[in-house]
């Protein structure tokens, strides 16, 4: 049944019954009963045409007069002795379009509009309704309407392009799609000029273009790029399209972070094979096509698109199992702008247990890009090292993360990339806290990644009391701390000497504290040697334990046995009574000294 009637055709409501409708003019009447249309006239019908599931009982002559296709067919007699019968397979536009063409053939007025023009143009081509058979035939009328009406209007061109989605390959072969895309691209490419003249705001065309299916959207974007539109405008439009057609782009992926993998609405939707955007349901296959297409048309300019959006695209591409080559391309592009990322962006969903592997590739691409560009500025190094150390601290919370993966990632940056290892120490400590049963040799292996000389005094103070660290690492931290203190003191001493020579300042109390601190340094060196000897004795006691005890109870049992030893008890008493007080006094002196030097 028709949704709307062409102009000039009157519907006789008083002749409508439960069986169908009747469309009547002075000469003829079109009546529909069930799925069959009849032409009621004084001349009996002699042709039965089937289009899809609808049958049209009509007269042969009006159609043969205007339709070359029907005229050259050898029509088969109907088995019902009705006359002739014809079945039109794959007729563009279906039965509704054929119904309008049929009325045109009977000489009724034609109502052309943006919603039916594409299907009527394709249908007229199918039936070969050219000027050869009659002047002003349907091909000529539809072509003129397309050229002079549709292509001059932005909104009409969008409407026609949408209607072409179900008219392949006819709309492509007749260049309807190309002409609409070119018209839209030309108008959109004037966006900057129009916005500058206050005719339109920037991006006024994004919504309309984003309403199209991915194939037509790509055609328009390609045409706009060819007309010289700025890359950042192209990227904004792509981002707009992705937000509309890929709901997962804006979904918070908290369920895929850290070790909370799997309990996520996005992942559930993917596994169910569909995504919903409002009332529109998208298949997984369609979503995959969209993400792959968008990646392929991203402008090559590095500055045109944000690192955050690239990482979002990468996450969705992984979830939908996009082509490996396209995923690799995204990884390279992210690596080039990695300094603009943050930790939350970098936490890629472990839909396929590839979180660290993908991030590792991104870091490798960044290092390759940095080496190629010779970007050796301290600020960039500091930014990336901080980002990766924060990322390490996040993934360290995953109890299923193996030590090898963690270590490989921790060693990804070159030695000179980190000015300070505090962030790396925090990540290692988090990993040790999350994996309390980690064997001693693995703890040593992990702590070797960290350079104790690059720890700040605050980090050294924390590490020195951290019972999760191996004893050897604690000793290295203590030594590094004392070296830092000595260097700081020597620098202060030189500064004070300089001030005394220029200003003849009298700082007797300061000099006394210097002497006391020097004495404490010498004492510390002695204690360091004692600690090293103690460490060797403790290790010897541990090795004396039977293999059976060590295999059964592990380090915890051994540590309990060592703590009961006479050496351990003696050292603990000495440390409790003497060293801690000395350390406390030393810290107090350092604070007082720092204040006096700042005053002077």
Q: Is the pLDDT of residue 352 over 70?
A: no
pLDDT at 513 (0 to 100): 57
Q: 382, exposed or middle or buried, with CB in 10 Å at 0-12, 13-18, 19+?
A: middle
| pLDDT reading at 295 higher than 90 | yes
Summarize the confidence of residues 551-557 as an average pLDDT: 53
pLDDT at 208: 94
- Does 474 have pLDDT greater than 70? yes
**Tokens linked to 186:** 């030309």
Rounded to a whole number of angstroms, the CA Rg of the chain reads 40
Tokens coding 102: 């049929």
Which pLDDT tens digit goes with each residue over 74-97? 776 666 556 778 889 999 999 999
- The residue among 33 and 280 whose pLDDT is bigger is 33
Mean pLDDT to the nearest integer, 60-67 = 89
Q: What is the pLDDT of residue 570?
A: 59
Name every residue whose Cβ is closer than 8 Å to that of residue 407 and which is 6 or more positions away in sequence. 445, 446, 449
Name the pLDDT band for 155 (thresholds 50, 70, 90).
very high
The two tokens of residue 264 are: 């996520």
DSSP character at residue 302: G
Average per-residue pLDDT for the chain = 75
The band of 258, judged by pLDDT with boundaries at 50, 70 and 90, is: very low
CA distance 74 to 76: 6
- For residue 187, pLDDT over 60 is answered with yes
- Measured at the CA of 177, the angle between CA 171 and CA 182, to 5 degrees, comes to 160
Query: Which of 383-397, 486-500, 517-531, 553-567 is predicted with the least confidence, judged by mean pLDDT?
Result: 553-567
Pick the range with the lowest mean pLDDT from 52-56, 120-124, 199-203.
Answer: 199-203
- The confidence band for 430, taking pLDDT boundaries of 50, 70 and 90, is very high
The answer to whether 121 and 139 are in contact (CB under 8 A) is yes
Yes or no: say if 484 and 461 are a contact pair by the CB < 8 Å rule.
Answer: no
SS3 sequence of 412-435:
CCCHHHCCCCHHHHHHHHHHHHHC
Alpha carbons within 13 angstroms on the beta-carbon side of residue 137 total: 20
**pLDDT bucket at 205, cuts 50 / 70 / 90:** very high
pLDDT of residue 403 exceeding 50, the answer is yes
Q: Which residue has the higher pLDDT, 263 or 401?
A: 401
Q: Token match 């559930």: residue?
A: 268
Instruction: Give the confidence band of 141 by pLDDT, cuts at 50, 70, 90.
Output: very high
Q: Is 282 helix (H, G, I), strand (E, B) or coil?
A: strand
**What dihedral do alpha carbons 34, 35, 39, 42 form, nearest 10°?**
-50
High-pLDDT (> 70) share of the chain, %: 66
Residue 150: predicted pLDDT: 95
User: What was the pLDDT predicted at 296?
Assistant: 93
Instruction: Calculate mean pLDDT across residues 114-137.
Output: 94
> What is the reported pLDDT for 183?
94
- Give the pLDDT of residue 273: 46
- Going by pLDDT thresholds of 50, 70 and 90, the confidence category of residue 73 is confident
Q: Band of the pLDDT at 127, cuts 50, 70, 90?
A: very high
Helices (H) and strands (E) in the chain, counts: 28, 10
59-73, 358-372, 492-506: which has the minimum mean pLDDT? 492-506
- DSSP conformational letter for 537: H
Note every long-range contact of 279-288, with CB atoms under 8 Å and residues 24 or more positions apart, other chains counting: 282/245, 284/320, 287/245, 287/246, 287/320, 288/320, 288/321, 288/322
- The pLDDT assigned to 119 comes to 96
Contacts 24+ apart (CB under 8 A), 264-271: 264/349, 266/319, 266/349, 267/319, 267/349, 267/351, 270/319, 270/320, 270/351
CA angle, 3 as apex, 135 and 158 as ends, to 5°? 70
> Residue 113 above 90 pLDDT?
yes
Q: How high is the pLDDT of residue 40?
A: 75
Across 141-155, 401-415, 435-449, 564-578, least confident range: 564-578
Backbone angles phi, psi at 32, to 5 degrees: -115, 125
Mean pLDDT of 464-486: 87
> Could you tell me the pLDDT band of residue 130, with boundaries at 50, 70 and 90?
very high
More confident residue, 24 or 537: 537
The encoded tokens of residue 498 equal 């300089």
* pLDDT value at residue 576: 52
Percent residues over pLDDT 90 in the chain: 29
pLDDT at 556: 54
> Would you say residue 529 has pLDDT above 70?
yes
Average pLDDT over residues 67-72: 89
Residues 556-576 have a mean pLDDT of 56
Lowest mean pLDDT among 245-249, 272-276, 325-329, 412-416: 272-276
- For residue 100, give every residue at least 6 positions away whose Cβ sits within 8 Å of its Cβ, in sequence order, or none: 6, 110, 111, 116, 120
Assign domain 29-156 to its CATH architecture.
2-Layer Sandwich (3.30)
Band of pLDDT at residue 363, cut at 50, 70 and 90: confident
pLDDT grade, residue 34 (50/70/90)?
A: confident
Q: Are 423 and 389 in contact (CB under 8 A)?
A: yes
pLDDT of residue 30: 76
**pLDDT, position 152:** 93
Give the SS3 label for residue 64.
helix
**pLDDT (0 to 100) of residue 44:** 79
13: CB partners within 8 A, 6+ apart: none
Give residue-wise pLDDT tens across range 312-348. Answer: 888 888 888 889 899 888 888 888 888 777 777 777 6
Residue 356 in tokens: 């660290």
- pTM, full prediction: 0.66
Q: Per-residue pLDDT averaged across 300-308, rounded? A: 86
Comparing 196 with 339, which gets the higher pLDDT? 339
| pLDDT at 520 > cutoff 90 | no
Indicate whether 516 pLDDT > 80: no
Average pLDDT over residues 211-218: 94
């Amino acid at each position: 049944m028709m949704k709307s009637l062409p102009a000039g055709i009157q519907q006789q409501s008083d002749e409508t019954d439960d069986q169908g409708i009747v469309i009547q003019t002075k000469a003829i009447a079109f009546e529909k009963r069930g799925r069959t249309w009849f032409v009621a006239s004084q001349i009996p019908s002699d042709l039965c045409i089937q289009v899809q599931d609808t049958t049209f009982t009509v007269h042969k002559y009006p159609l043969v007069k205007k339709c070359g296709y029907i005229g050259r067919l050898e029509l088969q007699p109907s088995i019902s002795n009705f006359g002739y019968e014809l079945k039109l397979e794959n007729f563009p536009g279906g039965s509704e379009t054929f119904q309008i063409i049929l009325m045109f053939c009977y000489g009724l007025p034609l109502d052309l509009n943006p919603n039916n023009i594409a299907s009527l143009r394709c249908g007229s081509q199918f039936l070969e309704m050219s000027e050869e058979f009659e002047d002003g035939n349907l091909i000529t009328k539809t072509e003129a309407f397309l050229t002079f009406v549709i292509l001059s209007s932005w909104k009409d061109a969008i409407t026609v392009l949408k209607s072409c989605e179900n008219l392949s390959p006819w709309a492509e072969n007749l260049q309807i799609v190309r002409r609409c895309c070119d018209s839209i691209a030309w108008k959109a490419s004037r966006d900057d000029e129009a916005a500058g003249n206050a005719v339109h705001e920037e991006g006024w065309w994004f919504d309309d273009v984003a309403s199209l299916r991915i194939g037509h959207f790509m055609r328009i974007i390609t045409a706009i790029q060819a007309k010289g539109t700025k890359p950042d405008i192209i990227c904004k439009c792509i981002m707009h399209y992705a937000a509309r057609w890929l709901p997962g782009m804006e979904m918070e992926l908290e369920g895929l972070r850290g070790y909370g993998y799997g309990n996520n609405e996005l992942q559930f939707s993917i596994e169910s094979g569909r995504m919903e955007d409002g009332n529109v349901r998208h298949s997984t296959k369609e979503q995959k096509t969209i993400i792959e297409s968008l990646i392929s048309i991203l402008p090559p300019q590095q500055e045109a698109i944000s690192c955050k959006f690239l990482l979002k695209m990468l996450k969705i591409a992984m979830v939908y199992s996009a082509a490996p080559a396209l995923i690799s391309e995204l990884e390279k592009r992210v690596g080039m702008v990695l300094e603009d990322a943050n930790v939350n962006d970098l936490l890629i969903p472990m839909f396929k247990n590839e979180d660290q592997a993908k991030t590792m590739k991104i870091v490798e691409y960044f290092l390759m890009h940095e080496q190629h560009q010779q970007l050796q500025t301290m600020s960039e190094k500091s930014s990336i090292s901080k980002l990766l150390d924060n990322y390490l601290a996040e993934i360290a919370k995953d109890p299923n993360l193996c030590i090898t993966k963690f270590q490989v990632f921790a060693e990804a940056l070159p030695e000179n990339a980190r000015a300070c290892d505090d962030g790396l120490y925090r990540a290692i400590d988090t990993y040790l806290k999350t994996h309390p049963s980690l064997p001693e040799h693995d703890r040593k292996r992990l702590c070797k990644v960290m350079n104790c000389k690059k720890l700040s005094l605050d980090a050294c103070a924390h590490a020195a009391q951290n019972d999760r660290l191996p004893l050897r690492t604690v000793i290295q931290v203590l030594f590094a701390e004392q070296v830092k203190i000595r260097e700081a003191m020597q620098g202060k001493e030189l500064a004070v000497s300089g001030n005394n020579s220029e200003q003849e300042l009298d700082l007797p109390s300061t000099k006394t504290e210097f002497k006391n601190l020097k004495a404490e340094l010498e004492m510390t060196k002695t204690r360091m040697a004692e600690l090293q000897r103690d460490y060797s004795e403790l290790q010897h006691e541990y090795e004396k334990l039977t293999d059976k005890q060590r295999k059964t109870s592990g380090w915890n049992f051994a540590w309990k046995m060592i703590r009961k030893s006479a050496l351990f008890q003696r050292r603990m008493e000495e440390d409790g009574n003497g060293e801690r007080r000395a350390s406390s006094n030393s810290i107090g002196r350092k604070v007082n000294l720092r204040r006096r030097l700042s005053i002077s």
